[in-house]
């Protein structure tokens, strides 16, 4: 029991004046009145500073919920500033810490790259320069496993545009084969308007697709599909995850933000959750440092609206 509560109980239950109890305990009347004012406040705060902090904490928690509990303090700062709050990253981080709001849970990913020594190799046209001056200049992609409790293995293939980090194509299936990768690259082309839109007469201007040297991407089927769509293949060095760092970073975010927070029985359970994160949250809401703190779609829209003016 607190001293202030004891003083109040003596006055209420035994009719002992609070002035006498405070004097006997050596407690100032001003402090006791301050405690009474706090107790009468339905929010439990009475100073202007405490009220502002309570309102800010509530705003941080609401923004955290809107971001599906996936945004950390750097991204939440941008979200809150868009809503009119004048906050710093440190202030938001302190608020999240007080409220126990944690955005990420770390989990290791199993590598799926299996090389085919006899397959033809393609040169590295990206050379770790993971940026692009325009859409459909450089794409990257990879395949990862989505774990399920039933033991059924399912896999996700992706295609990401380096211009704004937008996920253009994705495909989920039961085998990490060339057909799965082809489905993802075909979807990416369809999202950009079809082969007629991305095709370039000059081979040197055609879109580059960069991947690892796994047997999926060196297969005849995948190479044929890329040639038919007018896409140049590019591959990093053997055993170097940094040569395809953007694709690895995407899967890292997927695992931290989706796979570590959900348990899927099979691919039927996994597909809607994974695809919703990929094409709804990641593309339209998740802020990306490489896209000036905007979502990939918002970044592409902004650049499309500003470039004609600059010209």
Q: Is the CB of residue 264 less than 8 Å from the CB of residue 149?
A: yes
**pLDDT reported for residue 136:** 95
Paired with 138 in beta bridges are: 208
Q: Is the CB of residue 216 less than 8 Å from the CB of residue 113?
A: no
SS (H, E, C) the chain: CCHHHHHHHHHHHHCCCHHHHHHHHCCCHHHHHHHHHHHHCCCCCCCHHHHHHHHHHHHHHHHHHHCCCCCCHHHHHHHHHHCCCCCCHHHHHHHHHHHCCCCCCCCCCCCCCCECCCCCCCCCCCCCCCCCCCCCCEEECCEEEECCCCCCCEEEEEEEECCCCEEEEEEEECCCCHHHHHHHHHHHHHHCCCHHHHCCCCHHHCCEEEECCECCCCCHHHHHHHHHHCCEEEECCCCCHHHHHHHHHHHHHHHHHHHCCCCCCCHHHHHHHHHHHHHHHHHHCCCEHHHCCECHHHHHHHHHHHHHHHC
Q: Any residues with CB less than 8 A from the CB of 56 and at least 6 apart, and which?
A: 85, 87, 91, 95
> Measured between alpha carbons, how far is 145 from 151 in angstroms, rounded to an integer?
12
Total residue length of the chain: 311
> Measured between alpha carbons, how far is 71 from 43 in angstroms, rounded to an integer?
27
**pLDDT reported for residue 82:** 84
Q: Is the CB of residue 172 less than 8 Å from the CB of residue 196?
A: no
> Measured between alpha carbons, how far is 243 from 188 in angstroms, rounded to an integer?
21
Q: Is the pTM of this model over 0.85?
A: no
214, with CB counted inside 10 A (0-12, 13-18, 19+), is buried
Q: Which of 282, 280, 285 is nearest to 256 (CA)?
A: 282
CATH number of 138-306: 3.30.420.10
Digitized pLDDT (tens) for each residue of the chain, 311 residues in all: 578 888 888 888 888 888 888 888 888 888 888 777 766 555 555 567 777 888 888 888 888 888 877 778 888 888 888 888 888 888 888 888 888 887 765 554 555 555 555 566 789 999 999 999 999 999 999 999 999 988 888 999 999 999 999 999 999 999 999 999 999 999 999 999 999 889 988 988 999 999 998 889 999 999 999 999 999 999 987 766 788 999 999 999 999 889 888 889 999 999 999 999 999 999 999 999 889 999 999 999 999 998 654 33
Residue whose entry in the numeric block shows the structure tokens 């993971």: 130
> Measured between alpha carbons, how far is 296 from 141 in angstroms, rounded to an integer?
16
């Amino acid at each position: 029991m607190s001293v202030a509560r004891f003083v109040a109980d003596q006055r209420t239950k035994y009719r002992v004046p609070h002035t006498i109890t405070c004097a006997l305990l050596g407690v100032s009347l001003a402090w006791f009145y301050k405690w009474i004012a706090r107790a009468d406040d339905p929010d439990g705060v009475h100073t202007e500073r405490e009220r502002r902090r309570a309102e800010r904490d509530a705003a941080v928690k609401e923004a955290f919920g809107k971001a599906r509990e996936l945004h950390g303090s750097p991204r939440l700062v941008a979200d809150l500033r868009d809503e009119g709050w004048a906050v710093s990253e440190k202030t938001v981080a302190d608020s999240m810490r007080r409220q126990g709001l944690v955005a990420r849970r770390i989990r290791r990913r199993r590598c799926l790259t299996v090389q085919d020594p006899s397959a033809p190799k393609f040169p590295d046209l990206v050379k770790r320069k993971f940026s692009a001056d325009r859409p459909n200049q450089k794409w990257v992609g990879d395949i990862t496993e989505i774990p399920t409790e039933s033991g059924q293995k399912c896999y996700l293939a992706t295609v990401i545009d380096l211009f704004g980090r937008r996920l253009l194509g994705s495909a989920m299936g039961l085998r990490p084969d060339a057909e799965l990768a082809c489905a993802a690259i075909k979807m990416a082309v369809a999202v950009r308007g079809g082969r007629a839109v991305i095709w370039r007469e000059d081979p040197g201007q055609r879109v580059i697709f960069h991947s690892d040297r796994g047997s999926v991407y060196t297969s005849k089927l995948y190479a044929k599909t890329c040639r038919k769509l007018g896409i140049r293949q590019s591959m990093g060095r053997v055993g170097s995850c940094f040569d395809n760092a953007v694709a690895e970073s995407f899967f890292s975010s997927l695992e931290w933000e989706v796979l570590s927070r959900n348990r899927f029985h099979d691919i039927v359970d996994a597909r809607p959750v994974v695809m919703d994160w990929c094409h709804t949250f990641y593309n339209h809401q998740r802020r990306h440092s490489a896209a000036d703190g905007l979502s990939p779609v918002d970044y592409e829209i902004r650049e499309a609206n500003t470039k004609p003016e600059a010209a």
